[in-house]
Amino acid sequence: MTARAAVKKTSPEDWHPAEVVAALRMKGYSLRALATLNGYGNANSLTSALRRPYPLAEGIIAEAIGVEPTRIWPSRYGPDGKPNRGPSSPKPMLPHGAKPSRLRLVRNRQKRGEK
């Protein structure tokens, strides 16, 4: 028998996924119905917002419930109400002191007809 993978815990201040689904049900919606109403080809596409950050889906779900996404998922938003996703600055491509590759970034333009 294999052990079940540990379920990743959401932030304590975020709503539990079951609470989000229950709030949608009380408003007369389901995640599948919302996905279909909003033109998603896959009816299960909004469920990923329950597990990981997905700004567009979070907005759709929050609008259906009637609250702001920052209230449902406060750990995913900063104090200014903007998503706090991604690195604040790009990571360097090479470690400090490493020499860059001599490969060209553009195609080698060869003249046609010459050998």
Segments making up each domain of the chain, as ranges: 17-76
pLDDT tens digit string along 30-80?
A: 999 999 999 988 988 999 999 999 999 999 999 999 999 999 999 999 888
Cα dihedral sign, 70-76-79-84: negative
* 80/23: higher pLDDT: 23
Tell me the C-alpha distance between 91 and 12, whole Å: 29
pLDDT value of residue 81: 87
For residue 10, name the pLDDT band (cuts at 50, 70, 90). Answer: low
For residue 91, name the pLDDT band (cuts at 50, 70, 90). Answer: low
pLDDT value of residue 84: 85
Domain 17-76 CATH assignment equals 2.40.30.10: no
Instruction: With beta carbons less than 8 A apart as the criterion, state whether 34 and 28 touch.
Output: no
Tell me the C-alpha distance between 38 and 45, whole Å: 11
Instruction: With beta carbons less than 8 A apart as the criterion, state whether 62 and 72 touch.
Output: yes
